Amino acid sequence: MESKSKKRINQELPPGATPLDAEDLEGLIPRYITTRRELNDAEFKNISEASKRFFLSRKKFQFTISSLYKTHKEMFGKVWTWAGKKRKTEKNIGVDKNQIDVELKKTIDDLECWLKQDKNTVEISARLHHRLVYIHPFNNGNGRWARFIVNLFLKDHLNAYLDFPEDELLLTTKIRKNYIEALKEADDLNYKPLIDFHEKYISSFTK
């Protein structure tokens, strides 16, 4: 049964966030965590360590299903036992759990096509961003994982990254509200708000 202390982790969720159910919470590794803030801090530390490994590497990121799962594991593996494993339940957002790998493969194939069509790189990053969030492969951390993957793509193809205000995106803020609205617009194939969001935060590694 989900403990009262663990239930506190689901309190004060920002709009659009996916609550963690009792089974998800059983996968929490650091036993001291009982609040959303403690959880955010632990995940931030894990993600920071993963960022150093990925963004200091000279190797190009290979877009395969296994590498997408592995990246989530690297980002959250010190916090959750289920990090890097696709969800086994339905959430308030995301494709059917049985279609996750199918949709990821379609996204990888589409990415190759977009690159061959010589589409604008920032537009591609926005489309990729939306698709990964829409699929929602994991129990949690999908938004941060999608933004991380997008930055790996931009690093390789534009020597740039999106300096997202991650603190703002984890809270109930105007920035998060605009971000969620941009993703919803992309659900209806209007990518302009999300492209604008990307353009606002893009930064070069050479600066």
* Residue-wise pLDDT tens digits, 122-132: 999 999 999 99
Say yes or no to pLDDT of 50 above 80.
yes
d(CA 195, CA 187): 13
Per-residue 3-state assignment (H helix, E strand, C coil) for 74-107: HHHCCCECCCCCCCCCCCCCCCCHHHHHHHHHHH
In three-state secondary structure terms, 47 is helix
191: DSSP letter: -
Q: Which amino acid is at 154?
A: L
User: Is the separation of the CB atoms in 79 and 46 below 8 Å?
Assistant: yes
What region does 16 belong to: left with phi over 0, alpha with psi -120 to 50, or beta? left
In three-state secondary structure terms, 202 is strand
d(CA 189, CA 92): 20
- Report the pLDDT value the prediction gives residue 172, as an integer from 0 to 100: 66
Phi, psi (rounded to 5 degrees) for 199: -60, -35
Q: For the full predicted model, state whether its pTM sits above 0.95.
A: no
Place of tokens 């606002």: 200
Reported as a single tens digit per residue, the pLDDT across 160-179 is 999 888 777 766 678 888 89
Find the helix or strand (DSSP H, E) in which 154 lies: helix 142-158
Q: Virtual CA dihedral for 111, 97, 195, 198, nearest 10 degrees? A: -100
d(CA 153, CA 60): 9
User: Could you give all domains of the chain from N- to C-terminal order, each with its CATH number?
Assistant: 19-204 (1.10.3290.10)
- Report the pLDDT value the prediction gives residue 165, as an integer from 0 to 100: 80
In three-state secondary structure terms, 43 is helix
d(CA 183, CA 14): 15
- pLDDT band for 1, please (50, 70, 90 cuts): very low
Q: At what angle do helices 142-158 and 36-55 cross, to 10 degrees?
A: 20
Give me the mean pLDDT over the 47-69 stretch: 95
